């Protein structure tokens, strides 16, 4: 089942890439495995999926431990807000963090990343829709944060991430992604070697790819409905 759904999603991504005039392999599928059991991750890995996104640190650690035999084939991405008291274990365990929106968090991750591991790949989360309930740095504050994070040792600033407010219609969906892409290009023009735009989920995948997404985050479309997780704090 997961294999079939993954192939369907890969075909959908490829079609969006063709529509955008982009190479079909220019977009990475990040499987959002939050609230899914380790067995579902193992099934997706067997189907060829290697990059997985998690929102909750402890839940992710349990899966990483359960699948430790496959650690070299797995790439673990933290995509939920990160609390200061969880930075050490994230720095020691994850391959990517998409949700940095404060210099303090980045500094802690840099200081706590073990020397024996490659630099931690990171993205800055931008609040492109201006929602009070959403995490993310404000666009006006992004350049200063980006240059500060890029200067930190043990981190590698790869790009930007956003979770825009859900809207209907392709044209409306493209607008926040276009804003993120413009910020991305501004930072590149300022000399930052960014290569990643983490944007787009199942409802707005096509809009994100048309606006330059290099990584799309898909969960229920791959794994099916998630079980509720009562009382959970994102990345907590």
Distance CA 184, CA 194 (A): 7
pTM of the shown model: 0.94
Q: What is the pLDDT of residues 158-188, one digit of tens each?
A: 999 999 999 999 999 999 999 999 999 999 9
234 belongs to a structural domain: no
CATH (domain of 35): 3.20.20.10
6 belongs to a structural domain: yes
Q: What is the pLDDT of residues 115-131, one digit of tens each?
A: 999 999 999 999 998 87
83 belongs to a structural domain: yes
Mean pLDDT taken over the chain: 94
- Please state the domain count of the chain: 1
Q: What is the pLDDT of residues 203-227, one digit of tens each?
A: 999 999 999 999 999 999 999 877 6
99 belongs to a structural domain: yes
43 belongs to a structural domain: yes
Distance of CA 230 to the CA centre of its chain: 23
233 belongs to a structural domain: no
Angstrom distances, CA of residue 77 to CA of 64, 80, 135, 171, 230: 11, 9, 17, 29, 22
229 belongs to a structural domain: no
Domain range holding 88?
2-223
Distance CA 121, CA 51 (A): 13
230 belongs to a structural domain: no
Q: pLDDT tier at 45 (50, 70, 90 boundaries)?
A: very high
């Amino acid at each position: 089942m997961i294999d079939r759904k993954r192939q369907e999603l890969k075909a959908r991504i490829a079609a969006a890439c063709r529509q955008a005039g982009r190479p079909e392999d220019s977009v990475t599928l990040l499987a959002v495995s939050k609230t899914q059991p380790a067995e579902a991750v193992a099934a997706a890995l067997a189907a060829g999926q290697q990059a997985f996104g998690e929102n909750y640190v402890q839940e992710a650690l349990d899966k990483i431990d359960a699948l430790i035999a496959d650690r070299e084939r797995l790439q673990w991405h933290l995509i939920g807000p990160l609390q200061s008291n969880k930075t050490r274990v994230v720095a020691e365990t994850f391959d990517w963090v998409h949700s940095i929106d404060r210099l303090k968090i980045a500094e802690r991750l840099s200081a706590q990343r073990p020397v024996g591991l490659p630099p931690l790949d990171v993205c800055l989360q931008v609040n492109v829709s201006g929602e009070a309930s959403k995490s993310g740095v404000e666009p006006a504050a992004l350049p200063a944060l980006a240059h500060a994070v890029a200067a930190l040792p043990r981190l590698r600033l790869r790009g930007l991430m956003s979770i825009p407010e859900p809207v209907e219609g392709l044209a409306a969906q493209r607008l926040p992604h276009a804003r993120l892409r413009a910020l991305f290009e501004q930072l590149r023009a300022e000399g930052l070697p960014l290569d990643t735009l983490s944007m787009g989920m199942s409802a707005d995948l096509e809009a994100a790819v048309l606006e330059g997404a290099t990584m799309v985050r898909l969960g229920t479309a791959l794994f099916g409905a998630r079980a509720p997780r009562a009382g959970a704090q994102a990345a907590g």
